[in-house]
């Protein structure tokens, strides 16, 4: 039995010293080599922890993008990766996983610096998800069997083939987990990848690709291009040598990727988009305190920057007073703090411009007549964190289900509470959104569990829990929350084509 890894014991100051000792990756990864980029394309990387410049990152030029796509194309069309025995791909990916484990503390610290995630969450939650996801898909590489159709005397084979070159465009909120959910299954089935990380979080993406090379993953199989979405992402979306594109981010940009595909080669486009997830608490919740604590955790974890955040709390009138009082009390435990402090539960927003966007949503909610119960303002921590992007935990009451706050994804620590009169009212309010990513339902009544969870239009319904998960279960959205599924065996559908080979015997 291997010993489980232990979160290093360090004070905030010691995490700071450790971060200062790190060597930031300052190159793109193209065709198996770090590439420095052009001086004129170097861009400051600013940490939301204190607003300081950490390093400079090279953004990909049009030339470099061509080199990366050509490298991925060559690695797919001529290279060993799609042709090697799946068992061999598995071994190489497992060697890569071992390096991720070895570099866990370094990667967690880079992540905390890039986007302000509390170090305990970065190390404990995101690095665990990264490592587990790559391990799970490495293990599946040699366990997928093909089919033979029962057609009589002839022979018909139904085989899965890798789709080809996959562009992966990812956001900054869970940059490691969300990239792994796409890159790991794509590589496991033999595709090659060009990854464009969010402009806020390029460091970890490049470092993970460096580890892939160290593990022996061949040149061109995983290329990483930092850069602006509107430039590099768009060019990948329009590129005719890209066969499939997997994206997580806003619905607006997801729509743009479908347009890029339509304008170019009809590449397959897979979208995991936003959410405005309802969390319904009924009077017969089996443990009301657990429902309250989870409602607060769900909206303040990761500073509310989570596509599945239960941002609409829909509470039955019979327990509304108790639930609201409990959530307001719990919110006080999420005062924003230094992400390097291991006891911090809520860090800054990912950038000062994100903080301005959150404030705009709050101002719109006030103008709409929602009642501000707590929060609603930026927080200026004292020096040396004075330049950080901190924001108060914020709760609105009496939110009209049609208002801007109930309809639009804030992506910040802002909870909208609506009181309903019965179950039907709860379902009507829950479904009153263009999104359909996830939902929560709290009830001990087994009939309601089945009946109501079926009525909720969402890709995941959590009953008497929230955010529970496992790699064996798929994740993705209904309606404007996207198409296709990440995680589980179902994710392999996105990176494979089904081929029929009919043989006359
Ligand atoms: P975006 O959808 O804008 O960004 C996600 C990714 O798409 C990034 O890699 C980004 O690059 C890229 N991108 C941005 N614009 C374009 C474009 N025109 N063409 C091609 N690619 C593009 O999300 P934001 O980071 O701006 O956040 C805005 C909102 O999106 C949030 O407030 C939230 O509502 C939602 N969102 C949802 C997420 C989810 O998990 N479902 C994750 C992140 C955001 P770059 O980093 O260079 O901008």
Which residues are part of the catalytic machinery?
272, 307
Tell me the residue ranges of DSSP E strands in 214-311.
222-224, 244-248, 268-272, 278-281
Which stretches of the chain score pLDDT less than 50? none
Query: Do 394 and 423 meet the contact criterion of CB atoms below 8 Å apart?
Result: no
Give 84: exposed, middle or buried? Use CB within 10 Å, 0-12, 13-18, 19+.
middle
d(CA 375, CA 346): 14
pLDDT of residue 3: 78
Which of 12, 34, 33 shows the shortest CA–CA distance to 24?
34
Strand order of the sheet with strand 496-503? Answer: 147-149, 155-162, 496-503
DSSP string over 396-416? EES--TTSHHHHS---SSEEE
Contacts of 135 (CB under 8 A, 6+ apart): 94, 97
Mutate to test the pocket of ligand 1, among 199, 250, 360 (most ligand atoms within 8 A of CB): 250
Q: Is 274 in the pocket of ligand 1 (CB under 6 A)?
A: yes
Q: Is 173 in the pocket of ligand 1 (CB under 6 A)?
A: yes
The whole-angstrom distance between residue 290's C-alpha and the CA centroid of its chain comes to 25
Structure tokens at 251: 């619905």
pLDDT of residue 5: 87
Query: Do 485 and 495 meet the contact criterion of CB atoms below 8 Å apart?
Result: no
State the pairing for strand pair 222-224/192-196.
Answer: parallel
Helix or strand holding residue 321 (H, E): helix 320-331
Gap from CA of 247 to ligand 1 centroid (Å): 9
Which of 307, 199, 190, 295 shows the shortest CA–CA distance to 248?
307
pLDDT of residue 4: 80
Which of 45, 190, 192 shows the shortest CA–CA distance to 115?
45
Gap from CA of 464 to ligand 1 centroid (Å): 31
pLDDT of residue 1: 60
Q: Is 460 in the pocket of ligand 1 (CB under 6 A)?
A: no
Structure tokens at 23: 């060597």
Q: Is 93 in the pocket of ligand 1 (CB under 6 A)?
A: no
Gap from CA of 99 to ligand 1 centroid (Å): 29
Gap from CA of 94 to ligand 1 centroid (Å): 30
């Amino acid at each position: 039995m291997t010993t489980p890894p232990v979160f290093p014991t360090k004070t905030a100051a010691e995490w700071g010293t450790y971060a200062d000792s790190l060597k930031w990756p300052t190159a793109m990864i193209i065709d198996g080599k770090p590439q420095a980029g052009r001086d004129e394309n170097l861009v400051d990387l600013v940490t939301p922890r204190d607003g300081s410049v950490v390093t400079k990152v090279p953004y990909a030029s049009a030339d470099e993008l061509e080199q990366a796509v050509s490298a991925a194309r060559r690695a797919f069309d001529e290279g060993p990766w799609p042709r090697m025995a799946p068992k061999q791909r598995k071994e190489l990916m497992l060697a890569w996983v071992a390096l991720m484990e070895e570099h866990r503390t370094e990667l967690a610290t880079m992540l905390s610096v890039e986007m302000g995630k509390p170090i305990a969450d970065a190390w404990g939650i995101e690095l665990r998800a990264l490592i587990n996801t790559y391990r799970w898909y490495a293990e599946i590489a040699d366990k997928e069997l093909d089919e033979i159709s029962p057609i009589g005397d002839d022979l018909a084979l139904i085989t899965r083939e890798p789709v080809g070159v996959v562009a992966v465009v990812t956001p900054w909120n869970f940059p490691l987990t969300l990239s792994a959910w796409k890159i790991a299954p794509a590589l496991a089935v033999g595709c090659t990848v060009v990854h464009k990380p969010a402009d806020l979080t390029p460091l970890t993406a490049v470092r993970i690709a460096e580890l892939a090379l160290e593990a022996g993953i061949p040149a061109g199989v995983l290329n990483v291009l930092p850069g602006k979405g509107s430039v590099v992402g768009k060019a990948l979306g329009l590129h005719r040598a890209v066969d499939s594109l997997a994206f997580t981010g806003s619905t607006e940009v997801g729509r743009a990727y479908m347009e890029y595909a339509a304008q170019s080669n009809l590449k397959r486009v897979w979208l995991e988009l936003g959410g405005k997830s309802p969390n319904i608490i009924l009077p017969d919740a089996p443990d009301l305190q657990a429902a309250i604590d989870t409602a607060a955790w769900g909206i303040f974890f990761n500073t509310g920057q989570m596509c599945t955040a239960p941002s609409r709390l829909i509470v039955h009138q019979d327990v509304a007073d108790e639930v609201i009082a409990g959530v307001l009390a719990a919110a006080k435990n999420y005062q924003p703090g230094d992400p390097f402090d291991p006891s911090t539960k809520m860090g800054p927003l990912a950038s000062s411009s994100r903080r301005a966007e959150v404030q705009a949503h709050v101002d719109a909610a006030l103008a709409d007549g929602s009642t501000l119960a707590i929060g609603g303002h930026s927080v200026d921590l004292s020096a040396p964190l004075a330049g950080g992007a901190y924001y108060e935990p914020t709760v609105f009451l009496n939110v009209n289900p049609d208002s801007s706050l109930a309809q639009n994804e804030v992506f910040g620590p802002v909870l909208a509470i609506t009181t309903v009169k019965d179950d039907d009212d709860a379902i009507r309010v829950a479904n009153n959104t263009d999104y359909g990513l996830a939902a929560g339902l709290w009830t001990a009544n087994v009939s309601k569990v089945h009946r109501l969870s079926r009525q909720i239009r969402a890709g995941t319904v959590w009953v008497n829990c929230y955010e529970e998960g496992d790699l064996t279960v798929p994740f993705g959205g209904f309606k404007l929350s996207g198409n296709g599924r990440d995680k589980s065996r179902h994710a392999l559908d996105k990176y494979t084509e089904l081929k029929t080979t009919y043989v006359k015997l």
